[in-house]
């Protein structure tokens, strides 16, 4: 389903990034990093609109031939970036949205952990397994 899932801190450093092991990890790192441009663009565009009731889901950030990069930004400006295979046409906006929501919930759980320092890399096993489930889940 997703081929790469990344959580990016407010300061744009990765808190968590994981991609499917079969592909070159570096490529996804570059792809996620590049997509931050679009995230910034979208956030700043949104800044002009209503900030309060803004949509967390940023939609398709950055389509490439093979992959689609979707973005999601929390209220604390933590970004979630998900890369999915372009050929997977079964993945519609709604599915992506719900995946992001799941990701956000899991991230919130991580943040609720009193032993987790906000800003540290995420090593939570629960979060990891949730991401795994999103990556292998076949639609």
Partner 1 sequence: MAAPAEPLPPVIYTMENKPIVTCAGDQNLFTSIYPTLSQQLPREPMEWRRSYGRAPKMIHLESNFVQFKEELLPKEGNKALLTFPFLHIYWTECCDTEVYKATVKDDLTKWQNVLKAHSSVDWLIVVVENDAKKKNKTNILPRTSIVDKIRNDFCNKQSDRCVVLSDPLKDSSRTQESWNAFLTKLRTSLLMSFTKNLGKFEDDMRTLREKRTEPGWSFCDYFMVQEELAFVFEMLQQFEDALVQYDELDALFSQYVVNFGAGDGANWLTFFCQPVKSWNGLILRKPIDMEKRELIQRQEATLLDLRSYLFSRQCTLLLFLQRPWEVAQRALELLHNCVQELKLLEVSVPPGALDCWVFLSCLEVLQRIEGCCDRAQIDSNIAHTVGLWSYATEKLKSLGYLCGLVSEKGPNSEDLNRIVDLLAGLGAERPETANTAQSPYKKLKEALSSVEAFEKHYLVSITNGSQGRTRMAQCHGMGLQRVAGRRKKSPQKAEIYLQGALKNYLAEGWALPITHTRKQLAECQKHLGQTENYLQTSSLLASDHHLTEEERKHFCQEILSFASRQTDSPGHKIVLPLHCFAQLRDLHFTPSNAVVHVGGVLSVEITMCSQMPIPVYVEQIAINVHFSIEKNNYRKTAEWLTKHKTSNGIINFPVETSPFPASQNNLPALELYEMFERSPSDNSLNTTGIICKNVHMLLRRQESSASLETPSGVALEDGAHVLKCSGVTLEPGANRITFRTQAKEPGTYTLRQLRASVGPVWFVLPHLSPRVQYDVYSQEPQLHVEPLADSLLAGIPQKVKFTVTTGHYTVKNGDSLQLSNAEAMLILCHAENRAVIYSNTREKASDVSLRVQSSDKVTSISLPAAPAYHMIEFELEVLSLPSAPVTGGDSSTLGVTEPHRKHKDTQKAGYCMATTDHKVSIDCPWSIYSTVIALTFSVPFRTTHSLLSAGTRKYIQVCVQNLSELDFQLSDGNLVDTGSSGDLQLVPLNTKTPQHIYSKQSVFFVWELKWTREPPPSLRCQFSVGFSPASEGRLSIPLKPYTYEFQVENFFTLYSVRAEILPPSGTEHCRTGSLCSLEVSITRLSDLLEVDKDEALTESDDYFSTKLMYEVVDNSSNWAVCGKSSGVISMPVAAQATHRVHMEVMPLFAGYLPLPDVRLFKYLPHHSAHSSQLDADSWIENDSLSVDKHVDEQLDSGSIKSRGSVHSASSSEHKGLPMPRLQALPPGQVFNSSTGMQILVIPSKDDHVLEVSVT
- Positions in the binding site for partner 1 (CB under 8 A): 11-14, 25-26, 29-30, 33-34, 36-38, 41, 45, 62-65, 86-87, 89, 119
Q: State which residue, 62 or 127, has the beta carbon closest to partner 1.
A: 62
Q: In whole angstroms, how close is the CB of 49 to partner 1 at the nearest point?
A: 15
Q: Would you say 59 and 78 are in contact if contact means Cβ atoms under 8 Å apart?
A: no
For residue 125, give the nearest of 105, 104, 108, 110 by alpha carbon. 110
Q: In whole angstroms, how close is the CB of 105 to partner 1 at the nearest point?
A: 25
Q: State which residue, 41 or 55, has the beta carbon closest to partner 1.
A: 41
Q: Give CA separation, 125 vs 13, 17, 36, 64, 102, in Å.
A: 20, 14, 26, 31, 15
Distance CA 65, CA 18 (A): 21
Q: In whole angstroms, how close is the CB of 84 to partner 1 at the nearest point?
A: 13
Q: In whole angstroms, how close is the CB of 63 to partner 1 at the nearest point?
A: 5
Q: State which residue, 24 or 94, has the beta carbon closest to partner 1.
A: 24
Record the tokens describing residue 77, joined without a space: 């400006």
Q: State which residue, 13 or 47, has the beta carbon closest to partner 1.
A: 13
Q: Strand 14-19 relative to strand 2-8: parallel, antiparallel, unpaired?
A: antiparallel
């Amino acid at each position: 389903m997703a081929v790469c899932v990344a959580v990016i801190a407010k300061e744009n450093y990765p808190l968590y990034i994981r991609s499917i092991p079969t592909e070159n990890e570096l490529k996804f790192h570059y792809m996620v990093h590049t997509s931050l441009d679009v995230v910034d663009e979208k956030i700043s565009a949104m800044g002009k609109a209503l900030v309060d009731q803004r949509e967390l889901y940023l939609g398709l950030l950055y389509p490439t031939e093979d992959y689609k990069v979707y973005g999601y930004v929390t209220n604390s400006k933590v970004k979630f970036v998900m890369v999915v295979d372009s050929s997977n046409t079964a993945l519609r906006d709604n599915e992506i949205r719900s995946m992001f929501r799941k990701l956000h919930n899991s991230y919130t759980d991580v943040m609720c952990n009193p032993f987790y320092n906000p800003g540290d890399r995420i090593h939570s096993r629960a979060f990891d397994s949730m991401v795994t489930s999103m990556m292998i889940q076949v639609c």
